[in-house]
Amino acid sequence: MKKTDDNLRRLIIALKRAGTKGEAPIWRDLSERLTKPTRGRPVINLSRLNRHTNKGETIVVPGKVLSTGELDHKLTIAALTFSEKARVKITKAGGKTLSIEEIIKKHPKGTDVRVMV
């Protein structure tokens, strides 16, 4: 299926480039997840992130992060999109919100990054 969103197309290409030659398989996996239909992308609440992560982790969500629940520890989260309230709650907990492009630049080899689906 051909993606019509130019930004998403560029992101998928950047992920494929970052994951070439087996150096960073996490980015290749993420590019494959984003080529699938929108309805298959995860929608993750802060309560789930709070339960399944530890302080200081770096998480990538190939979908949307919503604000339901609370976050009681510091996380760095990169996602396709965030709700405004989710951004506020993450920042209030001492964490950071990044775009997927920014996380690729920060962690080109994908080390210490976990995909949350």
Query: Could you report the per-residue pLDDT of 31-88, keeping only the tens digit for each?
Result: 999 999 999 999 999 999 999 999 999 999 999 999 999 999 999 999 999 999 999 9
- Residue 7 in any domain: the answer is no
CATH code of the domain in which 63 resides: 3.100.10.10
- Residue 71 in any domain: the answer is yes
Q: Contact at 8 Å (CB) between 75 and 98?
A: no
Domain count, the chain: 1
**Helix or strand or coil: residue 20?**
helix
Model confidence at 28, in pLDDT bands (50, 70, 90)? very high
- Residue 24 in any domain: the answer is no
- Residue 95 in any domain: the answer is yes
Give the domain range for residue 44.
37-115
Q: What is the mean pLDDT of residues 5-11?
A: 92
- Residue 109 in any domain: the answer is yes
- Residue 60 in any domain: the answer is yes
Is the model's pLDDT at 1 over the cut of 80?
no
Is the model's pLDDT at 2 over the cut of 70?
no
- Residue 97 in any domain: the answer is yes
- Residue 18 in any domain: the answer is no
CA diameter of the chain: 40
pLDDT for the residue numbered 22: 67
Decide: residue 115, CB within 10 A, 0-12 exposed, 13-18 middle, 19+ buried. middle
